[in-house]
Amino acid sequence: MKVQCNNISIAFGDRDVLYKTNILLSSGETNSAGTRIPATRAALTGLNGSGKSTLMQIIAGLKNSDSGEYSASPGCRVSYLPQSGQYFSGRTVQRSRTLREEAETAWQSIYALLACMEDLGKILEQSTTDNKSTKAFLDEYQRLSQVVEDSGYYRREEAAEQVLNGLGFSRSDLDKECSTFSGGWQMRIALAKLLLENPDIMLLDEPTNYLDIEASTWLLAWLRRFSGGYLLVSHDRFFLDATVNEVYEIFQGRLKRYTGNYSAYEKIREAELEILVKRHAEQQEEIIRTEKLIERFRYKASKAAMVQERIKKLEKMERIVIPESLKKITISFPPPPHAGKTALTLEGIGKHYGDKQVLFGLDLNIDAGERLVVVGKNGAGKSTLLRIIAAVDSNYQGTVSYGSGIDAGFFSQERTEELNSSDSILAHIEESAPTALIPKVRDMLGAFLFRGDDVYKSLHVLSGGEKSRIALLGLLLRPHNLLILDEPTNHLDIHSKDVLLEALSKFSGTIIFVSHDRKFMEALSTKTLELSVQDGKPAARLFYGGYGYYLERIEQEEKQSLPQNTAEYSKQTSMQSAKSGLNQREQNKQQEALIRRHLREEKVILDLLEKLENEKAFLEAELAKPEVYSSGEKTKAIKLKLESIAAEIQEKTIQWEVLSMHS
Distance CA 144, CA 138 (A): 10
Secondary structure element (H or E) that encloses residue 616, with its range: helix 584-623
Q: Is the pLDDT of residue 629 over 90?
A: no
Between 128-132, 138-142, 189-193, the lowest mean confidence (pLDDT) is in 128-132
Length of the chain: 663
Residue 94 in this model has a pLDDT that exceeds 70:
no
DSSP string over 201-215 = EEEEESTTTT--HHH
Beta pairing partners, 232: 43, 204
What is the domain partition of the chain in residue ranges?
1-88+181-260, 102-177, 265-326, 342-553, 586-662
Contact 44, 52 (CB under 8 A): yes
Class of domain 1-88+181-260: alpha beta
pTM, two decimal places:
0.71
Domain spanning 586-662, CATH architecture: Orthogonal Bundle (1.10)
CA distance 348 to 424: 44
What are phi and psi for residue 27, nearest 5 degrees?
Answer: -90, 0
Lowest mean pLDDT among 129-138, 261-270, 474-483: 129-138
144-158, 260-274, 477-491: least confidently modelled range: 144-158
pLDDT at 580: 41
Question: Which of 109-113, 144-148, 157-161 is modeled with the greatest confidence?
Answer: 157-161
User: Is 624 within 8 Å of 603 (Cβ atoms)?
Assistant: no
Is the predicted pLDDT of residue 194 greater than 90, yes or no?
yes
Instruction: Give yes or no for residue 385 having a pLDDT over 90.
Output: yes
CA 364 – CA 316 distance, rounded (Å): 67
Check residues 380 and 632 and name the one with the higher pLDDT: 380
Structural contact between residues 207 and 235, judged by C-beta atoms closer than 8 angstroms: no
Same fold, 1-88+181-260 and 342-553: yes
Architecture of domain 342-553: 3-Layer(aba) Sandwich (3.40)
Are the CB atoms for 563 and 543 separated by under 8 Å?
no
Dihedral sign computed on CA atoms, order 381, 383, 389, 394: negative
pLDDT (tens digit, 9 = 90+) per residue, 232-260?
A: 999 888 899 999 999 999 988 899 999 88
The answer, yes or no, to whether residue 372 has pLDDT greater than 90, is yes
The answer to which of 118-122, 161-165, 344-348, 605-609 has the lowest mean pLDDT is 605-609
Alpha-carbon span 518 to 494, nearest angstrom: 12
**What is the mean predicted confidence (pLDDT) over 128-137?**
74
Q: Is the pLDDT of residue 484 over 90?
A: yes
**How far apart are alpha carbons 554 and 530 in whole angstroms?**
11
Amino acid at the residue 584: Q
For residue 461, what is the enclosing H or E element?
Answer: none
- Given this model, what pLDDT does residue 661 score? 53
Whether the predicted pLDDT of 447 surpasses 90: no
